[in-house]
Amino acid sequence: MSFLEFQLGDAFTDSGFLPEPASALPLDSVPLRESHKGFQVPVPDLLESREVETNTLQERMKLYVDSSMRGLELRSQPASNRDHDRSAVPGATSHLADREQSLKQMVEVSGNYKPESSDSVISRKLSRILNEYDGRTYQKDQDLRRSFLALEAHRKVLAFNESVLVQPSVMGSLARQSLKSNLEHLLLQNNLTFLENIRPVVNKIQRLSEPIERTLTIGNRVCEKRPTPIPDEVWCRIKDKQEQLQTLKMQKTVLSAVRDSLTLSQIEDHAIRNAEIDTEFLLVVNRIMIIKERATYLLTLPSAEAGKALLKHVNSQLEIANKRIYNYLVDFLYDLQSAYRTFGERSFTSNDKTFVVFRKCLVYLSSDLPYFSEFLKRVVKMRSQAALDNFLSQFDVESSSESKPIILSAHDPIRYLGDVLAYVHSLIVNEADFVNSMFDFQTFDEEEDSPQSIINKNQKFLSELNLKALNDIMVPLENSIRIRLEQIIRFEDDILTNFDIFDLLKLYEMIFTKYGIFEDSTLIRNLNALENVSSNKIGSTLTDTLSTIDTRQEIGADLLPPSWLAEYLTTLCGVFARYEKSSYPEDAKQIVSVEFLNETTGRLVNDKLEEFLHKNFPDMKRNPSEKENFLVAQINCFDNVISKLKPFKSTVFDNDGNILIKVENQMQSSIKALTEFESRLLFQKTGLELYFNLFNMIFPVESVQDELDYDMYLSTLENPIMNLTKIRESVEKPVSDLMPAALDEFQKNKVFHIMSPRIGEQITNTCLRQLLRFYQVFRQVLLHLYPDSQEEVLTVLKFTGDEAAMLFGLSD
């Protein structure tokens, strides 16, 4: 850095020689005005002599001196001639010129300034210094080079202008002096800083010097006394002290570790009370939780005082933290609510930082149930209020909503109920979406930041939190929903509509539970209650219809079932058909239960029909004709009931088919009774009744197998009615008259009123077959008993068995 104070040149090569200061540069030769324009230092003869080999410093010095001397000689020449040379000579000549010439003269010569100025010399020299090396000047050049580099590196700090600095003028000189001054100042400052830095070290050394000196003195003394052995006693004491020291150190380490593990640092304590709620804050809370867990272990110590005190302290800190978390969550909620009111629905992405903190806060707060419940209540209140408003707005006819309002249509109650339930469905899925995004902790993956104790302890609670919140949100809506459904269901009397309502409610019960509504929630209970209302209405409407039937209605001459029976059965079958189509057959069994069947079908057959028939045929026990009509009417009614209900035998009546079987049995009894009645009548008309009874008393006619059995009737000969003459009188004519017309008689008169042709044919066949069977047996027995009067027998019973069968229309 000293290059500015001294002349630049080869003189540097000699360490013993101090070059002349730079201020001796020929300032007079440099015009001030041009100092800022590419100033060129004149290089006079040196340039000419470049070709001369100057390998050594001495040679170069010599060259320089010659050149200078030439310059001095030139000074005696006129100013105009020597200007050029003067300006070309640096060093002493310039210095002398400075002293001799006034500023005025300098100005005068400035006009004659030539480019061969001292700047050029300097730059060339500098260039040579920087670029050319030889063994001797190497060290110097290196220093200079380093100095330049240092100067360049600190250009900003030193704030110098190199263009001014290199000027040979006063300005340049001043600038160089200033730079020098600055450099010295900086150097001093650096030294001062260094001294300041080492002052503490010096102080320490000074402080320590005295004890060290003492130690040295003691050491010397000890060394001097070395021949005296240290007693064992002292060694033991030293050892004891060392052990004591070690123990104390260990105790200190342990206590420090305990302190660190059981207390918060000052920063953490500050964070709990004042820091913003964020992940860092939650980490501190997590630490408190861990401390609390550890504190519980202390309670197992013989003295639990420490544990109790620590727990008390930790609990107070937790209380503060939880309160702050609660306030944060409430603020979050209010912000959300405010945005919701202003801008509508909001959503968060799962990686939203604030949202992540919110969810973590919830996990932490879940360990403080009162605060947590309070927060949950607020969430529920906010959401349920919005949901209720939305629900009620659907019924607002003047609503600006795009969709049609839900209006009760008189002819379509199912649509109204469907609209209400469908909207509740969409509300539930919306709320489920919301609570799942906020409170679904089943996939909570921030466990590493959360205390395991909370996660483990509250796992069940947290995992069901979304469902709980959803159910709680729906609670305030339940009453409004129930009212709107109930006002329709309570006043709906149509049985099939009630069945549709039942199915609809069952479907939505299933849907709502699928989306997380608890089965024991009031909403589902309300739906169940309404299902019961509609199902009960189906049964009650039918039983009411049955009760109001007027059984005094007179039966027609055709003995057909009454019109009310047909109507009632149509309604009943409609219910059964709807039951078969029900989407929930298991649930529909609640409606079509055994009790329902007893009430609607059993009562119909056992009470109403019986009542109706007895009222229409009061004298049937006394009057055979009335009894016959009674039986026919009864068979017709039973047949009607069975034919209508039989299609449902495997569905409706599969669980308890007794009712239908009972009706079928009752009908079979009636058929049997009518058959017996008609058969007896037929025997009476043919005059064979007495003989039929007589024969059956001895041996059942139906059991006769072959001719050997005829002998069993030998005893009848003792009976006077078995006289052939008597037989002719009582049988011949009726048989001859009736038998050819018996089939017609039955078909046109007796069973004509029986509605079912199958039953009519069954009765006809049974009666005629019975008559035919007896006729054949009676004829053969008579031929067997009166072998001598066979011709007479054949005249009385002139039709053979085959002929009789043909007349009755029987194949066999």
Nearer to another protein, 278 or 676 (CB): 278
Q: For residue 393, state whether it binds another protein (rule: CB under 8 A).
A: no
Q: How far is the CB of 339 from another protein (least distance, A)?
A: 4
Footprint (CB under 8 A) of another protein, residues 355-374: 355
Binding-site member from 300, 303, 349, 725 for another protein (CB under 8 A)? 349
Q: How far is the CB of 421 from another protein (least distance, A)?
A: 7
Phi and psi torsions of 808, nearest 5°: -85, -5
* Interior angle at CA 299, CA 294 and CA 302, nearest 5: 130
User: Which stretches within 132-278 are classed as H helix?
Assistant: 138-153, 155-158, 162-165, 170-224, 232-262, 266-274
Nearer to another protein, 289 or 588 (CB): 588
Q: For residue 344, state whether it binds another protein (rule: CB under 8 A).
A: yes
Residue by residue, what is the 3-state secondary structure of 485-497?
A: HHHHHCCCCCHHH
Q: How far is the CB of 462 from another protein (least distance, A)?
A: 22
Partners of residue 799 on adjacent β-strands: none
Judged by CB under 8 A, the stretch of 16-24, 257-265, 365-373, 510-518 that binds another protein is 510-518
Footprint (CB under 8 A) of another protein, residues 542-581: 581
Nearer to another protein, 433 or 709 (CB): 433
Q: How far is the CB of 576 from another protein (least distance, A)?
A: 17
Nearer to another protein, 22 or 417 (CB): 417
On whether the CB atoms of residues 361 and 277 are closer than 8 A, the answer is: yes
Nearest to 774 by CA among 712, 711, 682, 677: 682
Partners of residue 716 on adjacent β-strands: none
Q: For residue 414, state whether it binds another protein (rule: CB under 8 A).
A: yes
Q: For residue 800, state whether it binds another protein (rule: CB under 8 A).
A: no
Footprint (CB under 8 A) of another protein, residues 577-606: 581, 583
Q: For residue 690, state whether it binds another protein (rule: CB under 8 A).
A: no
Q: How many C-alpha atoms does 403 have within 13 Å on its Cβ side?
A: 10
Footprint (CB under 8 A) of another protein, residues 207-236: none
On whether the CB atoms of residues 653 and 659 are closer than 8 A, the answer is: yes
Q: For residue 443, state whether it binds another protein (rule: CB under 8 A).
A: no
Judged by CB under 8 A, the stretch of 146-154, 347-355, 373-381, 552-560 that binds another protein is 347-355
Cα distance between residue 95 and residue 707, in whole Å:
185
Angle between helices 92-100 and 57-75 (to 10 degrees): 30
Nearer to another protein, 332 or 691 (CB): 332
Task: Let me know if 786 is exposed, middle or buried by CB neighbors in 10 A (0-12, 13-18, 19+).
Answer: middle
Nearer to another protein, 297 or 343 (CB): 343
Nearer to another protein, 335 or 802 (CB): 335
Q: Which residues contact 173 (CB under 8 A, 6 or more apart)?
A: 22, 23, 27
Nearer to another protein, 430 or 669 (CB): 430
Nearer to another protein, 395 or 699 (CB): 395
On whether the CB atoms of residues 545 and 619 are closer than 8 A, the answer is: no
Binding-site member from 352, 519, 737, 803 for another protein (CB under 8 A)? 352
Amino acid, single-letter form, for residue 159: A
Nearer to another protein, 249 or 415 (CB): 415
Cα distance between residue 42 and residue 120, in whole Å:
5
Q: How far is the CB of 651 from another protein (least distance, A)?
A: 16
Total binding residues toward another protein, as defined by CB under 8 A: 43
Footprint (CB under 8 A) of another protein, residues 415-434: 415, 418-419, 421-423, 425-426, 429-430, 433
On whether the CB atoms of residues 333 and 382 are closer than 8 A, the answer is: yes
Q: For residue 335, state whether it binds another protein (rule: CB under 8 A).
A: yes
Nearest to 121 by CA among 231, 13, 11: 11
Footprint (CB under 8 A) of another protein, residues 514-533: 515
Binding-site member from 51, 196, 402, 448 for another protein (CB under 8 A)? 402
SS3 41: strand
Task: Let me know if 185 is exposed, middle or buried by CB neighbors in 10 A (0-12, 13-18, 19+).
Answer: exposed
Q: How far is the CB of 511 from another protein (least distance, A)?
A: 6
Q: For residue 50, state whether it binds another protein (rule: CB under 8 A).
A: no
Q: How far is the CB of 420 from another protein (least distance, A)?
A: 8
Q: How far is the CB of 548 from another protein (least distance, A)?
A: 31
Nearer to another protein, 249 or 404 (CB): 404
Annotate 486-507 with b (16+ C-beta within 10 A) or e (fewer).
Answer: eebbeebeebebbbbbbbbbbe
Tell the residue number behind the tokens 């009960």, with chain if given: 536
On whether the CB atoms of residues 567 and 639 are closer than 8 A, the answer is: no
Nearer to another protein, 26 or 418 (CB): 418
Say how many C-beta atoms besides its own lie within 10 A of residue 322's C-beta: 20
Nearest to 711 by CA among 773, 775, 781, 774: 781
Binding-site member from 62, 346, 614, 726 for another protein (CB under 8 A)? 346
Nearer to another protein, 467 or 763 (CB): 467
Site string (748-777) toward another protein, x via CB under 8 A:
------------------------------
Residues contributing to the site for another protein (CB under 8 A): 331-332, 335-336, 338-339, 343-349, 352-355, 401-404, 406, 414-415, 418-419, 421-423, 425-426, 429-430, 433, 500, 504, 507-508, 510-511, 515, 581, 583
